[in-house]
Amino acid sequence: MTIKEADIRPTILINYNREVLFYEDIEIFHKKFHNKLKYIDNCIACDSNLVYNSFTKDGFTFQKCPQCNTLFVNPRPDESQLKWWYSNSKHAQHSNEILQNTESKRIELYETRIKNFLNRVPTHINKILEFGCGNGISLQLLKKINPKLNLLGIDLTPASVESCKEKGIPCKLADINDFALDNNLSYDAVVSFEVIEHLVNPEFVLNSINTILKKDGFVYMSMPNYHSYDFLEIGEGYRNLFAPGHLNYFNPDSIKLLLKRCGFEDIQVFCDGVLDTSIVKNYNYMKKIKLSPFWENIYNNENESFLNEFQKLLSKYNLSGNMTVIARKK
Ligand SMILES: [Zn+2]
Cα 184 to ligand 1 centroid, rounded to whole Å = 29
pLDDT of residue 94: 80
Length reported for the chain: 330
CA distance 271 to 152: 26
Domains of the chain with CATH codes: 11-329 (3.40.50.150)
Which residues are within 8 A (CB) of 63 and not within 5 positions of it... i.e. 6 or more apart?
51, 52, 53, 54, 71, 72, 73, 74
Cα 176 to ligand 1 centroid, rounded to whole Å = 24
pLDDT of residue 240: 93
Cα 316 to ligand 1 centroid, rounded to whole Å = 24
Q: Please tell me whether residue 328 adopts helix, strand or coil conformation.
A: strand
Contact predicate 94/12, CB 8 Å = no
pLDDT of residue 7: 73
Neighbours of ion ligand 1 (CB under 5 A): 43, 45-46, 48, 65, 67-68, 70
Cα 42 to ligand 1 centroid, rounded to whole Å = 8
Cα 227 to ligand 1 centroid, rounded to whole Å = 13
pLDDT of residue 109: 87
Cα 265 to ligand 1 centroid, rounded to whole Å = 18
Cα 47 to ligand 1 centroid, rounded to whole Å = 6
Cα 69 to ligand 1 centroid, rounded to whole Å = 6
Peptide bond into 75 cis (omega under 30): yes
Peptide bond into 224 cis (omega under 30): no
pLDDT of residue 10: 62
pLDDT digits 0-9 by tens, 28-59: 999 999 899 999 999 999 999 999 999 999 99
Which residues are within 8 A (CB) of 205 and not within 5 positions of it... i.e. 6 or more apart?
131, 176, 177, 196, 199
Cα 311 to ligand 1 centroid, rounded to whole Å = 28
User: DSSP class of residue 38?
Assistant: B
Q: Please tell me whether residue 159 adopts helix, strand or coil conformation.
A: helix
pLDDT of residue 92: 80
Contact predicate 6/282, CB 8 Å = yes
pTM, whole model, 2 decimals? 0.92
Cα 153 to ligand 1 centroid, rounded to whole Å = 31
Residues of the chain with pLDDT under 70: 1-2, 8-18
Cα 49 to ligand 1 centroid, rounded to whole Å = 8
